[in-house]
Homo-oligomer: A and B are copies of this chain.
Amino acid sequence: MPQGVVEIGKSLDATHTLFKKPRRSNSGQTVFFEKPVHILAGGSVVANREGEGPVGNFFDNVIADHDKEKNFEHAEIRMLKESILHAVQKSGLLLSDIDMLLSGDLLNQITTSNYVARDLGLPYIGLYSACSTMSQALAIGGCFLNAGYFDHVACATVSHFATAERQYRHPLEYGAQRPPYAQWTVTGAGCTVLARDVKATTGSGVRLTSATFGKVVDMGITDVANMGAAMAPAALDTLLALLDDTGYRPEEFDLILTGDLGKLGSDVLRELAAEQGYALGQNYTDCGTLIYDNTQKCYQGGSGAGCSASVFNSYILDRMQEGYYKRVAFLATGALMSPQSCYQGESIPCISHAVVVER
């Protein structure tokens, strides 16, 4: 009888490999973490504008845009590095306890992450997922720890207003005007330290319980100032997969948190979700709308990989630790175009990766 074929009438042993297949999701996009993936701590470093915003008191450090550094790129490197060190320190670990750094950023060739990985001397996986890097890193890190490959993984990302503007749009010196539907790239970094195991006395009490990997969604938008509208359909696509796979209804989350859709993009997501029969209520918000207030003249709100990274690793984790939020769906959202692809007439491909975080 060929291997793997079960004789009819013969009962299967419960340890048979057929039963060992991990729980699979309907969409195939979700991985369930049946073994604990603990969040030990989050670290966050931002610049002055973010520090003056509504959640400014929750960040670990607020520094000037180019404080003591010779250029904006070096300031970005410093912010990412400091956010990682804050997270490691708050975890009660040493840097040498970190087995793997998962990081990416918005700059060409993710040089910020590369130089930080060099300076910290950690095994390193470079990621590119634009502004959805934070949840992509958490999703991969969760997969690694759930499988027991490592003990501690650091997931991090960063963005910087000045480096992003001159790379993606115009050097600041041009003084180019922005349309009212634009967003403001956050100058900030965030890092989460994940652990496979946790001593009873340490840890934030917060765990990752599943990860949903997104697909690229492109509705044909070509205006690079209109990121929120471009990314909303990608957020919807991943949210629908997450709800279908986990079986949760939207109201069963204390918070559904998208990355950086901004005010306009959030409204678009609400409308798109309503069309699918899901009314997103008061428990839905967006990091881009949380980080600045209306007096700060940031148009539709924050964007950039550092937006969701800094908000998640400060305000959100703090609120979860104190028990205010018990179950959060975190969907960072990314627009994956380059200036070159836009000049060539391509539209903006977008993606959103999601993790469910529970206390």
Contact = CB atoms under 8 A, between A and B. Distances in A.
Interface stretch (A38-46, A142-150, A185-193): A142-150
Nearest to A29: B123
A336 B215 contact: no
B117 A216 contact: yes
A303 interface: no
Given A22-B147, A109-B338, A28 B216 contact: no
Contacts of A71: 344
B108 A108 contact: yes
Contacts of A337: 109, 111, 114
Contacts of A100: 213
20 contacts: A20-B148, A21-B148, A28-B123, A73-B344, A107-B338, A108-B338, A111-B338, A114-B336, A114-B349, A117-B216, A117-B351, A118-B216, A121-B215, A123-B215, A124-B214, A125-B129, A126-B136, A126-B351, A127-B128, A143-B143
Interface string A1-37: 0110000000000000000111000001101000000
A94 interface: no
Contacts of A213: 100, 123-125
Given A73-B340, A121-B216, 5 more contacts: A22-B148, A109-B336, A111-B341, A123-B214, A125-B136
